[in-house]
Chain A
Amino acid sequence: MEQFALTYLKEVKELYEIYGKVKLAIIYAENFDPKQELYIAPINQLRSSLDHFFKAAAHPDDMEYELKEAKEHLDRAGYDAFEIFASNLGIIIVEKLNKYSTETLTTIFPDYYKIIKPKLIEIRANLGEIRKRKKTSVNGNNDSFNSYFSQIEVLLNFDKNVDYSIPALEEYHQKKLKEDIEIQKKAKKERQRDRFFNVVFVGIIAAIISGILVWAVTTHFQKSPTSSTTTNTTNSPVSR
């Protein structure tokens, strides 16, 4: 009995390390949830895990199996918390950066493209893996939550870095906006000037053409009465 108690204690102590990380993951997931909602799935897994711990203590013959099950539920609780945490934080990071152009991000926050974006893609791939594993109900000791926990720290770090870079991004963004507005104003002025010159040019051309037409018509009608007068003169009875 004493040997069993010692073995049980040793095994549980080993699992305590995972439990500590799972607990942190759940706390992070709750605290970084924009709606501050309590996610039900990890709690469900912790409840099942507790069940196996007690069964292991009560049934020495099944201890190994029960503790293995307890660990699997602990891991699943961690995955569930990690899913919500990573999804929430990933969406928060993307939404914070979405309003800035590629040029702004490249100039002010080059780490986004070099480090953060590739890691976000990797985390998405991990979430896809977890989803696949859940569908096929395969879970084992080889895929401990431990390997995912480090990604929580990475995401927290990214979020902090994004927050630090926001003032510089905003400043550059506003500067670029002002420059764009200036360029647009300048272009508008140029367009207006061009339009003005076009109108003036067309006006001048129209005036010249009108002048020529008026001159031509006037000349024509000035000549016509003279020629009719001449005809009339030659045919007049006086001359005859």
Chain B
Amino acid sequence: MKDCLERVESALEIKNGVKDVESLDYMALPVGGKELYNSSLSIGNINLIAGRFKTLKEGIELREKFLNIALP
């Protein structure tokens, strides 16, 4: 296991020049463009797990819409 981790760390160092793996953060999730998700679970041509992420940009737009909507 330790050997495996060392190899991953070494690969990262080669690819990105990262020496301390602990300093790495997750990559940001998509904020636009590729927001569709699905899986290989399907019956015929119907995908059983499919949907769409609401992107950060859309979330902000929704908030702004509520902040600016005229209340009756």
Contacts and interface: CB of A to CB of B under 8 A. Distances in A.
Interface of A: 33, 35-41, 43-44, 47-48, 51, 55, 80, 83-84, 86-88, 90-91, 94, 97-98, 100, 102, 105, 112, 117, 120-121, 124, 127-128, 131
Nearest to B30: A40
Contacts of A120: 71
A147 B70 CA distance: 26
Contacts of B26: 44, 47-48, 51
Given A40-B31, A40-B35, A40-B54, 18 more contacts: A35-B54, A37-B54, A38-B54, A40-B55, A48-B26, A86-B66, A87-B63, A90-B69, A91-B66, A94-B71, A100-B72, A102-B72, A105-B72, A124-B66, A124-B67, A127-B63, A127-B66, A128-B67
Nearest to A33: B54
Interface of B: 22, 25-26, 28-31, 35, 37, 51-56, 59, 62-63, 65-67, 69-72
A87 B37 CA distance: 24
Contacts of A98: 72
Contact of A39 (B28, B54, B69): B54
Contact of A44 (B28, B67, B71): B28
Question: A-side binding surface: helix, strand, loop or mixed?
Answer: helix
A40 B63 contact: no
A106 to B, nearest CB: 11
Contacts of A55: 22
A91 B54 contact: no
20 contacts: A36-B51, A37-B51, A37-B53, A38-B53, A39-B53, A39-B54, A40-B29, A40-B35, A41-B56, A43-B29, A44-B26, A48-B25, A51-B25, A80-B59, A84-B62, A87-B66, A94-B69, A98-B72, A100-B72, A127-B66
Contacts of B51: 36-38
A40 B62 contact: no
Given A48-B26, A51-B26, A84-B54, A41 B59 contact: yes
